[in-house]
Amino acid sequence: MARVFVTRALPGPGLDRLRAEHETDVWPERLPPPREELVEHTAGAEGLISLLTDVVDADLIAAAPRLRAISNYAVGTDNVDIIAATARGIPVGHTPDVLTDATADLAFALLLAAARRLPVAARAVIAGDWLTWEPARHLGQSVHGATLGIVGLGRIGRAVAARAHGFAMEVLSTPTATTPGLPLAALLERSDFVSLHCPLTPVTRHLINAEALSRMRPTAILINTARGAIVDQAALRTALEQGTIAGAALDVTNPEPITPDDPLLSAPNLLITPHIGSATTAAREQMTELAVENLLAGLAGRPMPHQANAPA
């Protein structure tokens, strides 16, 4: 029986399986464990289930000499130092596939909400500003037949493309290792909507910066359900204020949560949701199951069902 630390309570029955096989310490608070608590609880652990809010860096890994399996409760692993884990021979698991449709649904919901200006219209009702049916009020943009540019045609990007086809949209994408595509600049120039689905890497950090935003159409809308740091938020605020683009809908920000005094929040035509891309009961419970499967396999010396690295 190994000692395992789980950095938050997870939905569904998956953790019961983990408790049945290993001594399981679950952080009980709503907020993530502070750094000192994360270090302390991980120090004697052999297994770790982390969330994207937990920084599992080289120092944390070095301070946990017994650690031999990490399972990240997320598709991405940008919060985990993969190089440090691999050097220690620690497998790192993640949870792709099971949240693809939930996140694609949310991306398309944000696209529709931003295009049709639903938050503004809903606030008008609450404010008592619905006087009558007005032909020139709350006008939005057409989605049917528009052009959607997808940056990152992975699992979620392809799922968003499938939804776009139902709206008879022309779908453009950046290239992948197996599929051709457009250079980013050309995609931005041709798209009515741009949806981000690439991983966060040193190359993609601030990929959407002032120069990229300047290439977008003044009627275009940006959607981000990937990682907040892919977008330069200062540049986005300026673009929205100056009308360089028509709007933006973000499910992710940098940092998370965005602070109440962040200047971005004062930008016009902006919709932000609190990182709820995978927030369906089914998706989150399946993420728990897969995170547990990954950890159980890693602790048993078996390949994880979804492993992000290949340690010797």
DSSP string, 154-174: SHHHHHHHHHHHTTT-EEEE-
Q: Which of 35, 137, 256, 302 is catalytic?
A: 256
Given a contact cutoff of 8 angstroms between Cβ atoms, the answer to whether 6 and 49 are in contact is yes
Q: Using the 8-state DSSP alphabet, how is residue 199 labeled? A: P
189 is catalytic: no
Neighbours of 166 (CB within 10 A): 9
Question: Taking Cα atoms as reference points, which of 83, 36, 33, 68 lies closest to residue 53?
Answer: 33
| H or E element in which residue 186 lies | helix 184-190
Residue matched to tokens 């949701």: 273
Phi and psi angles of residue 103, each rounded to the nearest 5 degrees, phi first: -70, -40
Quick one: DSSP state of residue 266? G
Quote the CA–CA distance of 311 and 84 in Å, as a whole number. 10
137 is catalytic: no
DSSP assignment letter at 73: E
Q: Is residue 4 within 8 Å of 24, Cβ to Cβ?
A: yes
Strand order in the sheet with 23-26: 23-26, 3-6, 47-51, 69-73, 92-93
In whole angstroms, what is the distance from residue 267 CA to residue 239 CA?
9
- Residue 149, strand partner residues: 172, 194
- Tell me, yes or no, if 227 is annotated catalytic: yes
**227, 237, 284, 306: which one is catalytic?**
227
Distance separating alpha carbons of residues 11 and 38, to the nearest angstrom: 20
Distances (CA, A) of 250 to 97, 126, 130, 202: 21, 23, 27, 20
Residue in 275, 284, 289, 306 annotated catalytic: 275
Q: Which residues are catalytic?
A: 227, 256, 275
